[in-house]
Structure 1
Amino acid sequence: MSDNLFSLKPFIHKVWEKSAFETPTTIQSQAIPLIKEGKDVIAESPTGTGKTLAYLLPVLDKIESENQGIQAVILASSQELVMQILEQVQKWSEGSGIRSASFIGGANVARQLEKIKKRPQLIVGTPGRMLELIKQKKLKMHEVKTVVLDEGDQLLVPEHIDTIKQIVKSTLSDQRQVVLFSATLTDRAIQIAKDLTQNPEMIQVKKDETIKAGNVEHIYFVCENREKPMLLEKIGRLEGVRGLAFINDISEITYTAGKLEFKEIPVGVLHSDLKKDERKTALKNLRTGKIKLLIASDVAARGLDIQDVTHVVHVDFAKDMTQYIHRSGRTGRFGADGVVISLVNEREERELKQYSQELKIDIHKKVFFSGKIVDPLEREAARPKAKESFKGKKATNQKFKSKPTQPKPRAKK
């Protein structure tokens, strides 16, 4: 463990060793000492570089287990991300005596009020439900020392920004530390983040050399919208596939999933209209391999760490480069290999090539042939052989066909 981690409390060291981690990632090495010192931080680092632990370890280190008040709040944009962060909180606070809880929209309010009675010291929640409980004076924020915005650019959009500002301002300004992390930060998001922080330290990691680079292949198929379910079916039949397929419209998610289920492809769905337990089950089924494809809206594009996702499919083309990056980042995590597939029409193909240039990645056109993904030229080269083979079989069949026998003449009496 590096020097900046040696100063963290023993319970964190124990989990680090149990997890068989060796060297901290770049974002962890840079962020942990700054957060531990109490400085405000605005951090940008690619997906799969360990951002959650970069803020979580110093936050846990600073919590005083004997203090009964809420000392840290972590905000995230989706229920799934909240629950994932809470799992990490519980894992890394083992043996510390730190109590934690989650508060999300759509969950039973009475049960959440019961959680408050247990006096959690660290809270993870979605902005809407958190502000609701603060306004009802159920959550007392005067002892909160650290507010974390996970996937911060998603929280600083117009529909959330006022809620975020109110939550931050509900804490005491003279003791408040604000920390923001994201894989991508626009200039606008950075400016809003600076307004919420005091003399923030900026961290921008473009590429993490501490992580072994995996091979992530970016490919695309040109097709019409009506052909997309058929292509997705073929992707679902690939050997060893464990994929996330992104569709924007919830009704289209349901329709496409129904078509694939009819074709006996094991699929699940994930979108904001589902109940908490349904969403949890869908993610579990993908993680355990019970389903081959999880057809999802962009609630699955942010921060979720699903191990061994082999394929990410942009069924609906990414609306911008940021969305392309976040969706694609669900595969190839921590040095693993992966494939990113875009299903595009001719206009979208031009936009995809522009992404390719700006992101400095190679994106190759592919087709299906005999149930496999191949280059278009490879398919064309294989077609004459297939025709010759078919003709040969036909000729052989003709050759060995028995000739019709002539009836024998009747013997004359």
Structure 2
Amino acid sequence: MTENQKVIKDLKPFIGQIWEKAGFSTPTTIQSYAIPAIVENKDVIAQSPTGTGKTLAYLLPALNKIDPEQKSVQAVILASSQELVMQILNELQKWSEGSGIRGASFIGGANVKRQLEKLKKHPHIAVGTPGRILELIKQKKLKMHEVKTVVLDEGDQLLVPEHISTIKEIIKSTLSDRQVVLFSATLPEQTVNMAKELTNDAEIITVEKDETIVAGKVDHIYFMSEQRDKIRLIEKISRLDKVKGLVFVKDIGSLTVLVEKLQYNQIKVSPLHSDMNKMDRQKSIREFRDGKTPMLIATDVAARGLDIEGISHVVHYDFPKDINQYVHRSGRTGRFGASGMVISLVTEREERELKTFAKKLGMDVEMKRFHGESIVDPHVKFSGKR
């Protein structure tokens, strides 16, 4: 048995059984570093690229620590969006099967009464958005004195001005011997500094590239376009063969206009943004996941942490605000050995920025154009002769 495989063997037997049933062999790099550190009760600040198994890196050791005989909440997992909360809860339910460990979700915008009913069932792990979790703590409905672990998932989205005071209050409501762990795909310096204030002598784990994961071949291409003409390119991309495209738009206003125009032109798309209610958001994701719509048009906030298998294309409709955002968005395709394509729709100014990103990331980015329904090189000439 390798040192890596021992990481899972050292956890409770039910975890190892589910690990084998899931067909996993070796833990990913982030899992092999983070799991032992969390099991040893260290605070952890961890960075690892999208798609490298971060959720299990904190979830498995958290499950390992739970005493199912107790009726109290023993771990709290915080995430910035409803979608991410539900995704984490799904994983939690899958990995706690047969263990007697219960999890429950608590999200802003959901019916408070129903969420209080969930607490009466004595979950061992609470997964939620910061605002709602703090609200339940202040109402003395969610008791934090037994909480041993607080997890911040996608930490760089939580340690921002709008959430930071809420996060601090949640952590302060636990006893001083609690463990705080933070995971993110990108960790800007200011996030690390804030995380250090919330943790106690944290172990910092940074994984730049995971060699244990077979990276898919991802092509990075771009089309030149004026802003007003980008919609035509989106229409053409939506007609590509077997397309399952995630399109990023900068804000809700731009997204609404784009979706309305596409639907007016009979293009099937699903919108996703933070002002939509829970049912509509779930419907959009389900229709996209099931292939009923070829494209999900999303804002960055709503798509954060979204894990949908088989995304063939990521499209930067609105150019990313920085290189981190480019990496985050682009990481949604080419996961677990699948191939994918990242398409940027750029103006002349944005083309210069894209080339700067490409240079910093050490990747090739090629200009393309459409010929009919096909993507071709810009210099390819087509003869009208038959």
TM-score, length basis structure 1:
0.91
Q: Which structure: larger Rg? A: 1
Q: Is the 8 A contact 1:301 1:330 kept in 2?
A: no
- Sequence identity (%): 64
Q: Is contact 1:301-1:326 (8 Å) kept?
A: no
Q: Give the letter aligned to residue 377 of structure 2.
A: D
Cα–Cα, structure 1 residues 186 and 128, in superposed 2: closer, same or farther, change >3 Å? Answer: same
Aligned to 2:26: 23
DSSP 3-state at the match of 1:294: strand
1:313-392, aligned counterparts within 5 Å?
A: 313-378=315-380, 381-382=381-382, 385-386=383-384, 388-389=385-386
Note the C-alpha offset of 1:265: 2.3
Show CA shifts across 1:137-187 (max 9, x none).
1111011000000000110111111111111111001x2100000010011
Is residue 132 of structure 1 aligned with residue 143 of structure 2?
no
The CA distance in 1 between the partners of 2:131 and 2:270, in whole Å, is 27
- Which residue does 1:409 correspond to in 2? none
Report how many residues are paired. 383
Q: How does 1:250-261 map to 2 (within 5 A)?
A: 250-261=252-263
Taking the aligned partners of 1:162 and 1:217, their CA distance within structure 2 comes to 41
How far, CA to CA, are the matches of 1:46 and 1:156 in structure 2? Answer: 18
Corresponding residue to 1:83 among 80, 83, 86 = 86
1:60 aligns with 63
Which residue in 2 is equivalent to 1:70? 73
**3-state SS in 2 of match to 1:377:** coil
Cα deviation 1:85-140 (Å, max 9, x = unaligned): 00000000000001110000100011001111111110100001111111111111
Q: Quote the Cα distance in structure 1 between the aligned partners of 2:341 and 2:137.
A: 43
User: Are residue 119 (structure 1) and residue 119 (structure 2) matched?
Assistant: no
- Give the gaps of 5 or more residues in structure 2: none
Pairwise CA RMSD of aligned residues? 1.0
Q: What does 1:137-216 correspond to in 2, within 5 Å?
A: 137-173=140-176, 175-216=177-218
Residue in 2 aligned with 1:232? 234
Contact 2:274–2:302 (Cα < 8 Å) also in 1: no
2:272–2:303: 8 Å Cα contact kept in structure 1?
A: no
Amino acid corresponding to residue 148 of structure 2 in structure 1: K
Supply the distance in 1 between the matched residues of 2:355 and 2:284 (Cα, whole angstroms).
33
Q: Give the partner amino acid of 2:318.
A: D
What is the letter of the counterpart of residue 244 of structure 2? R
Tell me, in whole angstroms, the C-alpha distance in 2 between the residues paired with 1:310 and 1:263: 23
1-structure distance, mates of 2:184, 2:362: 20
Q: 1:67: Cα distance to partner?
A: 1.1
Give the equivalent residue in structure 2 for 1:266: 268
Match of 1:393 in 2: none
- Provide structure 1 residue ranges, at least 5 long, that are not aligned to the other structure: 390-413
Q: Distance in 2 between matches of 1:235 and 1:307?
A: 19
Give 1:300 deviation, angstroms.
Answer: 4.0
